[in-house]
Amino acid sequence: MRHSKGIGRLGGLALGLGIGAALAALAGTAAAEPVSPPDPNVAASLDAAAASLGSAAADPFSASDLNVAISIDGMTLVQDGSATATSGTGDLAIAFGADSQAIATGGTLDSAFADGVNSQAQAVGGSFDSATAVGANSFGEAYQGDLDSATVFGSDSEAVAEFGNLDSASAFGANSDAFANIGNGDLASVVNTGSAEDLAIAGGTGSIAPGNFDIAAVVGTGSTALAGSDVTTPGDFDLAAALGDVLTATATGGSGLVDILP
């Protein structure tokens, strides 16, 4: 062991002497040769690169036009481009797309998700509400109630569940509108199989004519389903279903009414 250590020391000394000699030779050569002036083109390129790096270091999170916004529990976590998201305590809001907007406020455990150019999702004024809007110019709103749900998958479409509890409105396909409002437990559903506008309304029409547990459903295109109260008369447990194209099913102005077409 001692012999091996001695060899190691000698090897290290020789290596050190060799490196020293090589450095001395390089120093002499450098001193003997004059330094040429820098190439102006190279200097300009280096200056530009330094400026670019300095700018990136100064603003590492500059906007990338992704149009994304995320807000949780009242705090904005991400905001990029023209998308906006606003949340309250215990709520979640996410928006994707240019000029998209998601709002979840005024309650507890509400969620709003908007995806698409100019899409809007709002869960406001209640608890355990959910609003989803997917598609350009889509709008989904759960408003002034608890356990309400509004869901849109389609461009230029709208779903609103408002002024009641346990209401559900869903619109699938372009040019679809669904409203479950002014009552409890109402369901409005549209599945548009074409391009003409569909409409489903379930529930009440005002404070003097609420509607509860009504169902309005459309599967087709160019069709309408109305269930619940009319302008003056409340209606509960009504069912209107338009299952086809260019149909109008009406079960309003009374309770327990049924109209299924064709």
pLDDT digits (tens, 9 = 90+) for 138-179: 999 999 999 999 999 999 999 999 999 999 999 999 999 999
Mean pLDDT (whole number) for 14-31 = 39
Share of the chain above pLDDT 90, in %: 74
Q: Are 132 and 113 in contact (CB under 8 A)?
A: yes
Find the angle CA(63)-CA(83)-CA(59) to the nearest 5 degrees. 15
Q: Are 234 and 206 in contact (CB under 8 A)?
A: no
Query: What is the rounded average pLDDT for all residues in the chain?
Result: 84
**pTM beyond 0.85:** no
CA 95 to chain centre: 3
Task: Give me the residues paired with residue 46 across strands.
Answer: none
Note the pLDDT tens digit of each residue in 76-110.
999 999 999 999 999 999 999 999 999 999 999 99
